[in-house]
């Protein structure tokens, strides 16, 4: 049971961070389908820092540098969506889909190139960072995730930023009625850039949490196993509201964790279900959730609609 709780919190942390990122982007009026690709690039930034940090680096510095690297990588990659969707008014769904495909492919090619340069006989697309992961997951010999605490802090900060600050209210106004927001002096373009960039920061950090908490060795060609799309389902199920998103993330995290620990529960073993069923469970649940809740979901009214100064 303890192991189930640990895995649930870890996977929920990933989903919560990425879903919060999508929430900020969509509240600004930009649909961010590219969260999967942003996660990959954020994970890549953190993994490369883990790989090249010198031996003897303190756990605090490992955590700090990896977090900053993943956030920066996610932010920079999210600018592709911002420029295409805001400046060029491109179709946001198509741009996000392209980002997902490009993210995994580019990361795989880059890591293979790095490994070829360092080990020509084994140019695999993997990075081993077992020792560095201990800084994130172990404290005084006990398993403990600093990133789970950071996720809770960011949840509270996100709620305050969205609902208790002038910035958050302006951001939401740009996602509901950008022309009305512009009429009172709000720069819609800047606010939408801010929303997408925040989604890049949180999505990149979510990618780092995934590779440090969810896997022991990351194979880049596998991406992040669809967690970006699961996060979108969590965001929709949570109604674009931070604390409801957190509850949805816990639910999805529970279903995802069952594939890791189901062998420890007798009543689950008695069902004689293959392990693949448990691996599929969170994705099946996401489809059910989207079918049931997407029609009645209260999404920001102007999301996905390019802003045009001349329209009313």
Q: What residues does each domain of the chain span?
A: 2-231
Cα 44 to Cα 110: distance, rounded to the nearest angstrom: 9
pLDDT in tens, 246-274: 999 999 998 888 877 766 666 666 677 77
Q: Which of 5, 16, 32 is nearest to 299 (CA)?
A: 32
Residues 6+ apart with CB under 8 A from 45: 69, 70, 72, 73, 74, 204, 208
pTM: 0.92
Mean pLDDT of 108-118: 83
pLDDT in tens, 55-68: 778 878 888 999 99
User: What is the spatial distance between Cα 141 and Cα 243, in angstroms, rounded to a whole number?
Assistant: 32
What residue spans of 83-128 are helical by DSSP H?
Answer: 92-118
Question: Which pLDDT score, from 0 to 100, does residue 124 have?
Answer: 64
Q: Which of 94-103, 178-187, 204-213 is least confident?
A: 204-213
For the record, the structure tokens of 27 come out as: 């509240």
Are 196 and 29 in contact, with CB atoms under 8 Å apart?
no
Phi/psi of residue 142, each to 5°? -110, 145
Asked if 173 and 187 touch (Cβ cutoff 8 Å), the reply is no
Over residues 61-90, the pLDDT tens digits come to 888 999 999 999 999 999 999 999 999 999
Taking CA 231 as the corner, what is the angle to CA 210 and CA 63, rounded to the nearest 5 degrees?
A: 30
> For residue 217, what pLDDT band results from cuts at 50, 70 and 90?
low
Phi, psi angles (nearest 5°) of residue 125: -100, 55
């Amino acid at each position: 049971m303890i192991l189930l709780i640990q895995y649930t919190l870890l996977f929920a942390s990933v989903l919560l961070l990425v879903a919060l990122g999508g929430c900020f982007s969509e509240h600004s009026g930009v649909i961010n389908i590219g969260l999967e690709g942003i996660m990959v690039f954020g994970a890549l930034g953190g993994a490369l820092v883990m790989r090249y940090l010198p031996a003897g680096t303190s756990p605090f510095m490992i955590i700090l540098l990896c977090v900053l690297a993943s956030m920066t990588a996610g932010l920079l990659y999210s600018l592709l969506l911002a420029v295409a969707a805001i400046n060029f008014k491109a179709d946001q769904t198509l741009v996000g889909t392209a980002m997902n495909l490009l993210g995994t492919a580019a990361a795989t090619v880059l890591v293979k190139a790095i490994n070829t340069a360092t080990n020509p006989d084994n140019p695999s697309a993997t990075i081993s960072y077992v020792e560095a992961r201990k800084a994130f997951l172990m404290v005084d010999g006990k398993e403990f995730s600093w990133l789970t605490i950071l996720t809770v802090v960011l949840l509270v900060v996100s709620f305050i930023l969205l609902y208790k600050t002038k910035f958050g209210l302006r951001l939401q106004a740009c996602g509901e009625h950008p022309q009305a927001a512009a009429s009172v002096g709000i720069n819609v373009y800047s606010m939408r850039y801010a929303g997408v960039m925040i989604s890049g920061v949180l999505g990149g950090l979510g990618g780092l949490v995934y590779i440090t908490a969810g896997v022991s060795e990351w194979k880049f060609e596998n991406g992040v196993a669809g967690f970006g799309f699961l996060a979108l389902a969590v965001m929709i199920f949570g109604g674009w509201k931070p604390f409801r998103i957190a509850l949805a993330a816990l639910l999805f995290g529970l279903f995802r964790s069952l594939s890791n620990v189901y062998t420890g529960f007798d009543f689950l073993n008695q069902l004689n279900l293959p392990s693949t069923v448990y691996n599929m469970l969170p994705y099946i649940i996401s489809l059910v959730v989207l079918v049931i809740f997407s029609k009645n979901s209260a999404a920001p009214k102007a999301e996905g609609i390019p802003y045009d100064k001349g329209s009313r």
